[in-house]
Amino acid sequence: MSLYASLSTLPPDALLGLMTAYREDKRAEKFDLGVGVYKDEAGNTPILSAVKKAEARLIAAQDTKVYEGPRGNVDFCTHVEDFVFGAGAPARTEGRTLSFTAPGGCGALFAGTSLMRRMGTKKVWVSKPTWPNHPNVVRSLGLVVGEYRYADPETGTADRAAMIADLSQAAPGDGVIIQGPCHNPTGIDLTLEDWRALGAFARERGLAVMLDVAYHGFAGGLADDMAGVQAFLAEAGEGMVAYSCSKNFGLYRERAGCFMALGEAPEGIAAATTHVADIGRATWSMPPAHGAGIVATILGDKALRAEWETELTSMRERMISLRKALADALVERTGSNRLASLTTQNGMFSQLPITPEGAKKLREELGLYMPASGRINIAGLNMGDIPRVAEILATAL
């Protein structure tokens, strides 16, 4: 009997299947709204020019490939802490924060969920809907997934009352993953007031919350996008943050992320630091250096930083104009205002009220690719495509 006989075959990853089907589709007219990466007007995901320059500098200066240590690139960690906790935050000088370079946002999510497990967490709550890798990470660590309602599909805005009602069933010590801007897949973000209320709620209930920040700078800009996260942490007093540089620096394959935590007392953070180091040691041993090195080079250099911020702004503005153009075209085509909320949503993703059968039909009959969930990647569009894409989408709305 084979060693592997007890394994059943897992279903294929639906998004990867969609990407392959799109590539193999020979039709002259086809649209890919399923892809999970940022694309420019020409449909490419180029390397940012600030990244190219920082990478050249980094390679020229590098004289060893020796391990950097369990925290990875310490300058990188400091810069990301500047973003998340603020440059002069007293918690940092008081030893009440920790930060570790991680292999992408997923590595940071894995470290945080593993830390929750070591703190005694049995169940981790994720938004419904959420990015499918959240429940995947939770389950892979042997923890139970709970779901909280997140958005009101009618208004296209976050539904704090429903969130709090569902999270009221969480036990003290349960984990909760809340996405910072921009929520994947809905594009619907929490207001500052929501963040404050959730922070106070988490403190009162003793919940172990991890904020997942994977699109910093894609919603309203670097400072704006961190305001909610900071308001939450100020109210909650304690919490964890998983930060990804995959999208805002376009570093996808380099795996640059950062896991951070804030605590009320330095003793707790000192103990947590030893556990995060131990979790890293048992999994990736030492974090990857290249992507974090690029980010540290950019953020540590005035001119490169300004260049990156300009590139980030142009990505954000492109998505905002595409949202407006698509919303206008859909309102005109469908005669309904229902999808006007595309313009109040943020970032790459929005979820359209299209059924799995509708999505299949669009793909098979009209060459428009999107997952069964109805999630579309706004950045997969260009201005020229919008009238036709709106015409096709309207047939399923």
Ligand X SMILES: Cc1ncc(COP(=O)(O)O)c(C=O)c1O
Q: Which residues are catalytic?
A: 131, 212, 247
The dihedral sign for the CA sequence 354, 355, 358, 362: positive
Place of tokens 């999630």: 375
Place of tokens 């990857």: 288
Place of tokens 């391990």: 67
Residues that bind ligand X (CB under 6 A): 36, 104-106, 131, 179, 184, 212, 214, 244, 246, 252, 257
Cα separation, 122 vs 112, whole angstroms: 14
Q: For the range 266-269, what are the long-range contacts, defined as Cβ-Cβ under 8 Å and sequence gap of 24 or more?
A: 266/94, 266/95, 266/96, 268/238, 269/95, 269/96, 269/97, 269/98
Place of tokens 């049995």: 122
In terms of DSSP H, where are the helices of 25-103? 49-61, 74-85, 90-93
Q: Report the residue number, 91 or 176, with the smaller CB distance to ligand X.
A: 176
Cα separation, 294 vs 285, whole angstroms: 21
Q: Which of 146, 205, 203 is nearest to 177 (CA)?
A: 146
Angle at 369 between CA 368 and CA 371, to 5 degrees: 140
Cα separation, 397 vs 361, whole angstroms: 12
Q: For the range 124-129, what are the long-range contacts, defined as Cβ-Cβ under 8 Å and sequence gap of 24 or more?
A: 124/174, 124/175, 124/176, 124/177, 125/166, 125/167, 125/170, 125/174, 125/175, 125/176, 125/177, 126/176, 126/177, 127/163, 127/177, 127/178, 127/179, 127/183, 129/185, 129/186, 129/351, 129/373
Cα separation, 327 vs 264, whole angstroms: 44
Residue 206 CB contacts under 8 Å (≥ 6 apart), including other chains: 172, 173
